[in-house]
Structure 1
Amino acid sequence: KLKLNVTNIPQDGQYTFEATGRIVNVRVACIPSRFGETYTLRLLDPKKGLVPLETLGFPKAIHEKLAELVKLPNGLILVTGPTGSGKTTTLYSLLITIVGKERNIITLEDPIEYELPGIVQSQVDPDHDYDFARGLRSILRHDPNVVLVGEIRDMETAQTAIDASLTGHLVLSTLHTNNAIEAIPRFLSMGVSPYTFAPSLRAILAQRLVRTLTDECKADGAQCDPADHNTYNGVKAVPELLIATKEIRELILMNEPASAIEKVAKEQGFMDMRDWGKIFVQNKITNASEVMRVTM
Structure 2
Amino acid sequence: FYANDTIGNVAYSEVVVIKNVFYGIDPIELLTPSTSSQLTSNLLEFSWYSLDAGFGAVNFTLQVSNISDFSYIIFQSLDIAETPLVINSSVPLSVTYGQYYWRVRPTYGNYNGSWSDYFLFTLHINNYAPNLVLNDITPTDGTSSTIFRFTVSYSDLDNNAPEYVEILINGISYSMEIVEPFDKDFTDGCIYQYLTLLMPSTTAYTISFECSDGAFQYSTSTYQGPLVESDSTPSNNQADDNLNSTNIFAITMTLGIAIGILIPFIVFAEKQVKKIKLGEKTSAKRNK
With the length of structure 1 as denominator, give the TM-score of the two structures: 0.21
Q: Find the structure with the greater CA-based Rg.
A: 2
TM-score of the two chains, using structure 2 as the length reference? 0.21
Q: Report the structure, 1 or 2, having the larger strand content.
A: 2
The structure with higher relative contact order (CA 8 Å, sep 6+) is: 1
